[in-house]
Structure 1
Amino acid sequence: MQSSTTRVDTTVLDAAAMLAIAMGSTPGPAPGPVPQRPRVVADAVVGTWRSRDGAIKLHLRTDGTYAGEVAGRRKRPSGTYRIDGDAVMLHDAASGLHTPVTVRQHGELEMAGHRLLPA
């Protein structure tokens, strides 16, 4: 006699994970020539960045840590970052979530479909 077992997914997502899912990627720009990506240098990304609508704020510090704000979210993301090729990789200390931030031309960062400008 064989026993059948049903597996149930009981994954629990915290606010950071839900935000990452909700803010998933958006379609890229129209097809055309592929621009050269800038070389990421720590000095180029250190500072405060904000989305045009003010919903996202990211502060990258010189010591390799970051702090952020997301509109409508009480818990603020924070942790460490490292430069990884043409991106900055954020590691949220509380949730363990890794978020890539792409350095774009014209002094912009792109994170989870949001364009961030120097504040």
Structure 2
Amino acid sequence: MQSSSSPHVDTTVLDAAAMLAIAMGRASETGLGSVPRPPEVVTGAAVVGAWRSQDGSVTLQLRTDGTYAGEIAGRRKRPRGTYRVDGGAVVLQDESSGLRTPVTVLHEGELEMAGHRLLPAA
């Protein structure tokens, strides 16, 4: 029995592949998800632009209109949706599933998403 002073915390452990699948638009098996908000215009954000992993298997394009598109090697469906900058992170929200994925902005001019380091694309 839980006491009222300690809230119930539900934690789910996902591996990097599962997080990447969620981040890049895998449909939710539960059918749960929120209705996406309209994108906000992002001006002057250091994250706007094209990003890619060193091996080229993951790409991410963050646009000034608050939308994103990506590509993952071996997948037919290209992920896309909206994003918002939240402090030292970017939060992606997939347009088809509503799933949200945090992307950490690193000090070295890199992004980290689901275990992948993304560098500015040339």
TM-score class, shorter: 0.5 to 0.7
The reply on whether 1:85 has 2:87 as its aligned counterpart is yes
Q: Provide the rounded CA distance (Å) in 2 between the counterparts of 1:88 and 1:51.
A: 17
- Taking structure 1 as the reference length, the TM-score comes to 0.66
- Structure 1 outlier segments of 4+, above 4 Å: none
Match of 1:101 in 2: 103
- Taking structure 2 as the reference length, the TM-score comes to 0.64
Q: Provide the rounded CA distance (Å) in 1 between the counterparts of 2:19 and 2:61.
A: 22
Q: Provide the rounded CA distance (Å) in 1 between the counterparts of 2:93 and 2:80.
A: 8
Q: 1:22 to 1:80 in 2, by over 3 A?
A: closer
Give the SS at the match of 1:21: helix
CA contact (8 A) 1:46 1:62 kept: yes
Q: Provide the rounded CA distance (Å) in 1 between the counterparts of 2:17 and 2:82.
A: 17
CA contact (8 A) 2:52 2:120 kept: yes
Give the SS at the match of 2:65: coil
Where do residues 16-31 of structure 1 align in structure 2 (5 Å cutoff)? 21=18, 23=20
Where do residues 1-119 of structure 1 align in structure 2 (5 Å cutoff)? 21=18, 23=20, 42-119=44-121
Sequence identity (%): 69
The CA deviation at 1:23 is 4.3
Q: Which runs of 5+ in 2 are unaligned?
A: 1-15, 22-42
CA contact (8 A) 1:48 1:57 kept: yes
The CA deviation at 1:43 is 2.1
Q: Provide the rounded CA distance (Å) in 2 between the counterparts of 1:88 and 1:20.
A: 19
RMSD: 2.0
